[in-house]
Amino acid sequence: MYQQSKWIVLAFIFIFSVFALPVFSQKTYEVGSDPLMKVSGTSTLHDWDMVSNEASGTATLRLSAGRVTTIQAAEMTLPVKTLKSGKGQMDNNAYKALNADDHPEITFTLIEAHQDGGNDWKATGRLEIAGKAETVPFLLEITSSGTNLMLSGSAAIKLTDFDVDPPTAVFGTIKTGNEMTIAIEMKLIPIK
């Protein structure tokens, strides 16, 4: 009787300890359709935005109870010539400044990420623009939407940090500011 009671107690402890532990799952996601990648800046004439909906990439995340608890890896790629302002000459000046023919992609590779309360994250990664890589901090928000995740965030950069001269137009009378903001909004879909 004592032996049987001992096994029942051990079985109970085992079952309780398994169900008491939080359930973690690691998943790899890919960027869904129509991501929004926006680069914003200023000039001596007006503020401007260049937008692309053609970014691609993957992220490996750890989740618990539907919330992201760890960002283990992330990589994103944006073809430079998919960025559009709606003004052809401005786009061409930007592509020339970014040396898009020799460096056709802007890439980001995560170095580390730390939760900053709730769904907010501080992520640092290697951002490569025009063939020059710099470490850049991003502020991110990640929320769940069914089996998908919604990612939004932004980072402030300076063109000269990437050895890019701010573009000019009309014989140098219109000058682009050195500081820009990169903003992202995208859906992350689990890879099956």
Annotate 31-100 with DSSP letters as a single string.
Answer: E-SS-EEEEEEEESS--EEEEES--EEEEEEEEETTEEEEEEEEEEEEEGGG-B-S-HHHHHHHHHHTTT
CATH code of the domain covering residue 47: 2.40.128.110
pLDDT of residue 171: 57
Reported as a single tens digit per residue, the pLDDT across 48-68 is 999 999 999 999 999 888 889
Residue 68 lies in a domain: yes
Residue 123 lies in a domain: yes
pTM to 2 decimals?
0.82
Residue 156 lies in a domain: yes
Binned at pLDDT 50, 70 and 90, residue 22 comes out as very low
172: enclosing H helix or E strand: none
How far, in Å, CA of 73 to CA of 150, rounded? Answer: 16
Mean pLDDT, to the nearest integer, of 8-32?
61
Residue 118 lies in a domain: yes
Name 14's bridge partners: none
Residue 2 lies in a domain: no
Q: Using CA atoms of 140, 84, 28, 73 in order, give the dihedral in degrees to the nearest 10.
A: -60
Q: How many domains does the chain have?
A: 1
Higher-pLDDT residue of 139, 9:
139
Structural domain for 149, as ranges = 23-190
Residue 10 lies in a domain: no
Residue 3's identity, in one-letter code, is Q
Binned at pLDDT 50, 70 and 90, residue 170 comes out as low
Beta carbons of 106 and 126 less than 8 angstroms apart: no
Average pLDDT, the chain: 87
